[in-house]
Every structure is written in C-alpha cells, then in structure tokens.
Structure 1
Amino acid sequence: MKIKLLILLSFFINLQAADKPNILLILSDDQAWTDYGFMGHKHIETPHLDKLASESVLFKRAYVPTALCRPSLMTLATGRYSSVNGVTGNNPKADSKNPNNPDLKASVIANIDRFDTIAELLVEQGYLAHQSGKWWEGSYQRGGFTHGMTKGYPAHKKGRHGDEGLKIGREGNKPVTDFVDMAIEKKKPFFLWYAPFMPHTPHNPPKRLLEKYKKYDLTLPIAKYYAMCEWFDEACGDLIKHLEDKGVRDNTLIAYVCDNGWIQQSDKNGYAPRSKRSPFEGGTRTPIFFSWPEKFKAQDRKELCTSLDIFPTIVAAAGARMPKGLPGLDLNSYMSEQKEIPRDHIFGETFAHDIADISDYEASLLYRWVIKDKWKLLLTYDGKTDKGKPKYEEKEQRPQLFDLSNDPSEKHNLAKDHAEKVAELAKLINDWYPVTKRKTLTEYK
C-alpha cells in the first residue's frame, strides 16, 4: 500500500511539474551597474544581454543588500539579509571568538543548513536543479541542488568559492547544456544557478576581444576588464541560444543580477574605492531584470528593486512553498499586470571582508543604508575591518546623505543641510533592526 501511495504521489508531482516554468538565474561577478550596452556604456558591448534586457521587465534602479561576493550570493540562496543568515563576509578570521569551534570554515558553511534554500524549495516541486560557477557553501548538494559542479569544502580542501564550478563560461557551457538536455529528456522542469567567474579577475579575455578594446586608447587594465564583460556576455548568449534551440525559452523565467559592483583601476589590477565592498552606488547598484515570454511583457520599470526580491519571485513562479518572514517581495503580479510596486524604500548593510566573530555579526558591521525616493542615507559603524581596526576616511565618520537624482556619483554629502531628512531615514534604519553592540559614528569634522 505504501509503495502504491509513493507511486501515486510521484505521478502527481510529475504532472504538476510539467506546467511549471524552467528557471535560469544568471549571476554576473564583479561588474559595475553602468557596464552594459543597455545601461548606456559608451565602449562595452553586451549584445546578448542587451537583447535579453529589451525583452524583459527591467529594473535599472536595483541593488544588492551587501556588496561582497559570498554574502551577496548567500542572500540570493536564502532570501535573507546577511545579518540574518550569518554569512557577512568571505572568510572567518583566525582570531574569531569561538575557541570551541576550531574549524571556522565549516562553522560558517553550516549556516546554509538553517534555511530553506531556493534550490531545495524548487526540488520539492519536482525540479531538477543545477549549480555552476560561484558557490561558497560547501558542495552543491548541501545547497539543495540535485546536480552541480562544485565539490566544496571539506571534500575539496581548496574549494573556497566554487572549485570545479568556476570553469563554467570560461571553458564553455557543456556541463549546463548537458543538464538541460537531460532534464528535457526526462520531462522535468529545471533550475539553473548560472554564476560564471566572470568578469571577475583574472582578467584574461580572449586575444580577439582584448584587441577590440585596445583600439579605444584605454589603459591595459581597463581594456582587459571591458573585454571580460563582453566575454561574459558571450557565455550568457551561448546558454540562452541553447534554450531557444531546444524550444524551451518561452516557458523559461530568466532572472539577472550581479553580485556586486566593480570600478576598475586604470593603472593596475584591482578595484577602485567606492566600488566592491562599499555601500556606495559603485558597490551595491546593479541592473535586475526578469524575462518570461509567456507571462511578462517588456517593461522599463522606475521603481526600486532589491536582489532579495528574486528569491520570492522565483519561488512563487514555481508554485513552491514560500518561507515565512522573507524581506523581499514576490514581483510576479506587479510584472504580469504592470502594477506599481507598493514600496518606497529598500535597505542594505556592509560588513568587513573577513568575519571578525562568526557568532556576532555586529563585530564586522561597517555601514547600514536606506534608499527612499531620491534620497540615500549611509550610517557608519565601528565594526572591525580585516586588520582588526576601524578603517575609515575622516569624511566617512558621519551620516552621509545623497540626492541620487542629481548626484548619482555621491560626491556631495547633504546631511548638514537636511537634518530632518537624516532623522527620518535614520529612524527607518533603526526600526529595521536594532544595533546594540556597535557605536554609530556621527561626528561632523
């Protein structure tokens, strides 16, 4: 009797799954919000993403809640802020205050077990789920994927951020396209976590692309970075074409986001200030778009969007179980019916690159921020940085208020002239969640 029930349950799951959209989550790695053709860059060419964006519900005023690789990806996997999911930085510091947990790396990875991941929820609904590219939280199986490339720590001792998965895109897409073919053959809906290690360093693009950008009289580091952006675009185009060739594109929901920004230094390898790891636009802003030809008409939306919206939007589109207490919004009805999103502000938080104390997220807290309408407020905190001491420029030891409509580069701090606005936005931040152990730096120098 039990076997018959299991067979019957499997039949209904497969029947239900046949009507579900395939889902592709495309994740760029270290790319500025300006660095696409569809965002108006004067040199960088991204024709495949340009076409996809033109067919999508596009949010140009979109953000990630934290501008660093691992914590940004963890917010996508769990739908939770870093201060909730416990992964605030890329690495735990060796002097973390946990003498009874000598394996700090494993302790940080264990945070993934506390939450329903996006892959787990989709697999519950009959999906096959594949991980490729960047992934920090152990093996792909630990993230709830049925298939994948990353072996992860501890199976791969050097599996810091993706190991075998980092080959995707740079060495072609065959592992992913083979998975798509297999899922189609099995008549299963599929979920792809597609996170190429691109345009992330090493900036070693094909010679043909590098020569193309050298003609603009750019410095070599910038030409290499620009070429990497186009190489990433080519990888995305190759995967999308495969979906088209297999006849599944129309019923595939594609969500696009970048994990954090990147402003390439002109004279050497590396990122400039106010980009990656920072709370400024160069670190946190990214285009986000959703393409589902069967459901959404192309739209250029003016509202604010956060990458935390991606989790509930995908989960709802798949008809999967929705965890309680998610901070993001399910955008499906707003996009399909072209209704205004009832939200006028979003939040973000910035922590040090290394986790000072894995049991106390506040130990590494450097900034919290809110954007409401045209205004953006940054509050600075005295959390420990990678070297264990506060590391701020003097001008940053105070609230910073910017009018993004007139000052998108955040050059003019208007906090002194708009005390009431600072108080209003600071209250929003403090009502979001209380900070009890860290001092807010509020002095005006």
Structure 2
Amino acid sequence: MRLVITALFAMTMVIGLGVPVASAADQPNVVILLSDDQRWDDYSFLGHETIQTPNIDRLASQSLVYERGYVPSSLCRPSLASLFTGLYPHQNGITGNDPRENKRTKEGRAVLVDRFEENPRLADILGKQGYISFQSGKWWEGNFTSGGFTEGMTHGDVTKGGRHGDVGLMIGRKTMQPVIDFIDKAVAEDKPFFLWYAPMMPHLPHDPPKRLLDKYTQEGRPVEIAKYFAMCDWWDETCGQVLDHLDKKKIAENTVVIYLCDNGWIQQADKGGGAVGGPRGKRSVYDGGTRTPIMIRYPGHVKAQRNKTDLASSIDVVPTILDAVGVKTDVDFPGISLLDQAKAGQREAIFGEIYSHDIPDFRKPELGLYYRWIIDGDYKLIVPTGMEEGEYGPQQVALYNVVKDPEEENNVIADHPDVAAKLRKKLDAWWNPTVK
C-alpha cells in the first residue's frame, strides 16, 4: 500500500495520527540497522579489496539495494534526526550535534529535545499502530521516550553522562543481550515491533577485538587503517547476530529490514583518536561524507536487486517504512517510498545541507549553514554560503560529475554552465534561505 499524503506539513506543527490500528497479522516488524561513520564503499559487496562484510553482503543479496543512496547532512545528530523524522534538518530544527549556547547543560540540550518532539517521529507513529519499539545505540534526543519508543537503553540525563546514547552505547561493543531479549519478548507477546539498532560502530574509538585487529594487521599497513578495517568487520558481525536471531525466531519473512549509514568516514593513516573522518569524509559536503548504500529487505514483497542508477535518500526511509507497513499519516513528507521503483526512477534530484557542528539558533537554520547541495542525474552542484573556510567543501560554487568522478576532484562548472544553472534553479526552488 502506498503512502497517501493528505495534508501539507507545517514546520513546527505537532501531528495527530488518528488512524485505525491494523490487525496484527498485517503488521510486519521493522528493523533499522544503522552504521556509524563508515564510507559508502567500505563493504566487500561494493568492491572493497580488504574489508570483509559477509553478513551485510548476505543482506544485500536479499535486498533492494540503492547504491546511490545519500544522507542530507554528514554529521551524526542531524543525520539521525532526518532519518527518524523524515524531514530535512532545516525543517526539523536539528542541524548540528550541540547547541552553541549552554551546549553541555541540561537546559541547553532540553531546548533541542523539545524542538525534536514537535516533529513526526517514526517510533511514535508506529506506536499508534500497536507496535512496541526498542532504542539501542546512538540516540541524541534525550531519553528514548522522546522518540516514542516503548523501551530503550538511553536515559539522556546530562548530569549522568547523557549526550548521544550513554548506556545505549554498550550495544554491539559490550553486549547484544538487550536487543535479543527485546526480540524474544515481542515474539512471545505476539506483537509487531520496531527495533532501532544503531551502535557506535565502526565509530571511534577504534578498539576492535584483538582477533579482528590481527586479521587486518600486515606489514606496510598503518595500524590506524588496520583498526578501522577491523571495526567495519566487527560491525558486520553484530549485524549478523541480529539477522540470525530473526531467522532463529522464524520472523525474518515478516520483517522489514532497512540498512544504511549515518555519514561517511575516511580514515587517515597518520591519525587515530583525533581523526575526524576527513578531509572529505564526515562533516564534508562531498560523497565521502554524504553517500551510503540504502537497502530494503522484505521477503515476498520486495524483489532483491541492485539499483545502480536511481537516487535515494535517508529522507525516504520513513515513507518507505510506512508504505511497507500500510500506515497513512497527514504529513507531507519530502521523501518517497523506495518500494515504488517507478517513482524512484522518475525522481530528478535529491538535496542536502551541511551545517556547523554547534547550532547557533534552531529557529534560524541559515545562521549555521555552510553548504547546500543537489544531485541531478550524473551531476552534483555544491553551493557554499562562505561561512566555512573550505575544510569540508569548496569555497566557490562547484559542479562535479559524480558518476565519472566519484572522488569529486574535477570541478567542471566552466565546461557546463548550463547544467550548473539548471541545478541551481532546482536547488533554490527546494530551499533558498535568502528568500523570505
């Protein structure tokens, strides 16, 4: 059933979802597997020569894979907020990781959590349809209940270390038991469930088990590179544990699994704990920061295939899930259901926005805006505001053919001014903060 949009979304509205609850037999489970700080092609199924990801490879072979997937913003919190709300950062108010003022105080962070709760939230929407839900791993928006989860690991108390996951960050690295227990409980109670599995992996600290570090350690390979490779492998192992448990409980056939990463990462050979995934990785406007494979597995409903041409965005995840589970809302989400490949094929462009790490004012997103970008077909146009000094993107308007030049090394704007003009017009029509 395709998602039906019945009303325009007002940016600060609190939505109401008075939708009849479907019968349990019609409600598939939903699992999101969310990688953290991993470059888009750091998987063996996408051709990496060293990193081994057998479990994610298996998932890919069973999924509809959009290889040209993107997140609108290449930083943890705004990326996760966009994924969870189905809205762009400039719409949902979460444009950075921390407030610029009172960034480590309970009061300062509460203001942003309150703003987040004004948005549509995936767990809340599904909860109104009878789903139980569990938060594990990265979670920036205070207590897990702020997302509408019925259960979770993150307390969000700033006075007890709450910021981006606290106790929830144990998942994957220290234990898998809370996730296993939740799945078992949902099956025992015969309830549809939503699982948010978002470990801080392969994110820093890069401290993989010795057995995995040994696997990737070799003469001539910097230890920091070996550690990152091993972290990707470790992340893959934990995904396998979740997927294997769905099989063990005989619920894989009735479970929608979505896989993606929050943002990219480029591990530098000479940097360890201080590396920030750059200069063209995390936080950058380049594909090394914004691109990720997006996969959907739903046996019997979604044909497994590799889509190498059509554009997909994490903005599409909420509409895709609601489509799969048959839920209608009154929100005009900007994304599309990726289950509708005809619509994905007709899509002309996707968009994104890069901001400062700290949020100057959630009411005025343009105050922290560094770049806007658009991808249309083979081309990507990047428009800087001039507020950033070039570490995370070009200082002048730039046009790249990201199909022929995936590392975005050759600015071809002088050769294709007509393409740049067409893309700029579309970008400004999407969102132009200078036009009031």
In the superposition, the TM-score normalised over structure 2's length comes to: 0.91
Q: How far, CA to CA, are the matches of 2:326 and 2:248 in structure 1?
A: 26
Q: Which residue of 183, 186, 191 maps to 2:189?
A: 186
Query: Secondary structure of the residue that 1:295 maps to in structure 2?
Result: coil
Q: 1:324 offset after TM fit, Å? A: 1.8
Residues 336 and 344, structure 2, Cα contact 8 Å, conserved in 1: no
Q: Say if 1:58 and 1:394 are closer, same or farther in 2 by CA, change over 3 A.
A: closer
| Aligned residue number for residue 352 of structure 2 | 348
Q: Which residue of 67, 70, 74 maps to 2:74?
A: 67
Q: 1:158 offset after TM fit, Å? A: 1.8
Query: Secondary structure of the residue that 1:377 maps to in structure 2?
Result: strand
Residues 102 and 109, structure 2, Cα contact 8 Å, conserved in 1: no
Residues 138 and 198, structure 2, Cα contact 8 Å, conserved in 1: yes
1:404 equivalent in alignment to 2:402: yes
Structure 2 residues without counterparts, runs of 5 or longer? 1-19
Query: Secondary structure of the residue that 1:309 maps to in structure 2?
Result: helix
Query: Secondary structure of the residue that 1:413 maps to in structure 2?
Result: coil
Q: How far, CA to CA, are the matches of 2:303 and 2:271 in structure 1?
A: 43
Q: What do the CA deviations read for 1:313-340 (whole angstroms, capped 9, x no partner)?
A: 1112122232422111012243xxx776
Query: Secondary structure of the residue that 1:205 maps to in structure 2?
Result: coil
| Aligned residue number for residue 429 of structure 1 | 427
| Aligned residue number for residue 383 of structure 2 | 379
Counterpart AA for 1:434: N
1:272 equivalent in alignment to 2:278: yes
| Aligned residue number for residue 253 of structure 1 | 256
| Aligned residue number for residue 14 of structure 2 | none
Q: Which residue of 269, 276, 292 maps to 2:298?
A: 292
1:319 equivalent in alignment to 2:326: yes
Residue correspondences, number: 412
1:221 equivalent in alignment to 2:219: no
| Aligned residue number for residue 5 of structure 1 | none
Q: Say if 1:122 and 1:262 are closer, same or farther in 2 by CA, change over 3 A.
A: same
Q: How far, CA to CA, are the matches of 2:392 and 2:188 in structure 1?
A: 60
- Bigger relative contact order (CA 8 A; separation at least 6): 2
Counterpart AA for 1:133: G
| Aligned residue number for residue 164 of structure 1 | 167
Residues 316 and 322, structure 1, Cα contact 8 Å, conserved in 2: no
Q: Say if 1:318 and 1:216 are closer, same or farther in 2 by CA, change over 3 A.
A: farther
Q: What do the CA deviations read for 1:400-430 (whole angstroms, capped 9, x no partner)?
A: 1001121111000011221111111111111
RMSD of aligned residue pairs (Cα, Å)? 2.0
Counterpart AA for 2:354: T
Q: Say if 1:382 and 1:357 are closer, same or farther in 2 by CA, change over 3 A.
A: farther
Residues 144 and 153, structure 2, Cα contact 8 Å, conserved in 1: yes
Query: Secondary structure of the residue that 1:59 maps to in structure 2?
Result: strand
Counterpart AA for 1:139: N
| Aligned residue number for residue 49 of structure 2 | 42
Q: 1:254 offset after TM fit, Å? A: 0.2
Residues 134 and 197, structure 1, Cα contact 8 Å, conserved in 2: yes
Query: Secondary structure of the residue that 1:141 maps to in structure 2?
Result: helix
Larger radius of gyration: 1
Q: Say if 1:326 and 1:339 are closer, same or farther in 2 by CA, change over 3 A.
A: closer
In the superposition, the TM-score normalised over structure 1's length comes to: 0.89
Structure 1 residues without counterparts, runs of 5 or longer? 1-11, 384-389, 439-445
Q: 1:102 offset after TM fit, Å? A: 9.2
Q: Say if 1:188 and 1:222 are closer, same or farther in 2 by CA, change over 3 A.
A: same
After superposing on structure 2, the runs of 4+ consecutive aligned residues of structure 1 that deviate more than 3 Å are none
Counterpart AA for 2:254: N
| Aligned residue number for residue 419 of structure 1 | 417
